[in-house]
Amino acid sequence: MATVKRKSRPAKETTLRHLWLAGLGLVAIARREGFNAAGRAVERADRLQRRATRFVAQARQRTRAQLDGVRGQVEPQVLKFSAQVERRLAPVLDKLGLSPKPQRAARKGKGKTQARKAAKPAAPARRGVRKPAARRGARKA
């Protein structure tokens, strides 16, 4: 038997088909990575948003806790200062005749006149017919 020699192409030779397939593979990989990158960016943005929301909520809680502590310390001092001012001004206001009137207790129920008014239905608003304007007579000369 005779051996047949086949000519093989050198491995280093690049053909148009190789270039086409390499380009097609590059496009497919770039597309897949683009979608993955977009998904990663959305996930990262969501994580940052959740983190910022948590940070704001924690800061709000801390601030409210600190304000409640300060309010607890300040309110008694304000009331004390107000009482001192009123106590010191009371003699001056008495001399000027401007002493504050004691406040009356609030009424618990309706009075008799208010009860009668509530029982009596309100009359509908009257809409009268307009009277014609008075005509002036002709002036006599």
Mean residue pLDDT of the chain comes to 80
Q: Is residue 1 over pLDDT 60?
A: no
State percent of the chain over pLDDT 90.
40
The secondary structure of residue 141, as a DSSP letter, is -
**pTM above the 0.85 mark?**
no
Q: Is 69 left (phi over 0), alpha (psi -120 to 50) or beta?
A: alpha
User: Which is higher by pLDDT, 121 or 34?
Assistant: 34
pLDDT of 44 higher than 60: yes
pLDDT reported for residue 20: 95
